[in-house]
Structure 1
């Protein structure tokens, strides 16, 4: 089961640029599409922050506009005809994308200008390593190999500013105590 999820994720990462996201996500199981969407988001925000560090100050704002367009596309898909499984998949991706949009909006309002800002490193960031053919989950200074355990096509907990502020308090407490 885990090797199958990992294999599908590897294929999805390789094929992600071949089609628009709203078409690509129908070719993969929900867990794979969701995780790869999070990998894309991490890569896109990292690229935007890198561009800001090189002097392109509007990169994060441009990406925010892209996120809004992606969300509008997904929402319009939800209005149309979908199988129950596809509807659940898109609703779950929307939930995660709304949080991702809010994170970028917060970074813009805080004038984040580098990839080491706490408001960025405190986020759960997924990335794909082509060299190791693995997905990694990073948060703060911790890194974990994605376990590829089958999660199914289920709704995800809504992520709120309260969830984020709790993580902020825990991290700040650990930093101050060490």
Structure 2
């Protein structure tokens, strides 16, 4: 009797597995990706403010954030995933990086630490923001800073309610 149950269970598993596999769903994040670039730095107390002057968007809903005077303004509440980088970190000795400072509504919020940066000196983080919050970004003042260094950032709204489910495979 046990062998019969095992055989039936094995048969059902083999038979239904391909059928279930055909209905696998992919999760697709349909939120736009904002790319922000700029060159150089502006004095800001003991740090340097990172200059950002060009905003491009990949995807729909292209008005969720704006760029004005080196500040990012968010236009809806939610969780944002941000990646921040500067060419200055590519010029320093291996294992040495300049820290990034994130300002929220004109006040220091938090900063990167050495262990939080990628091997290229990129800093990635998530932050919960409210509508009309302003973000600006500073970098440690260092003799390696060059006014021709490029600053880069990508921003993505990651509200889980906006993740779409798709039956189509790419």
TM class by shorter chain equals under 0.3
After TM superposition, the score normalised by the length of structure 1 is 0.23
**Over alpha carbons, which structure has the higher Rg?**
2
Bigger RCO (CA 8 Å, 6+ sep)? 2
After TM superposition, the score normalised by the length of structure 2 is 0.24
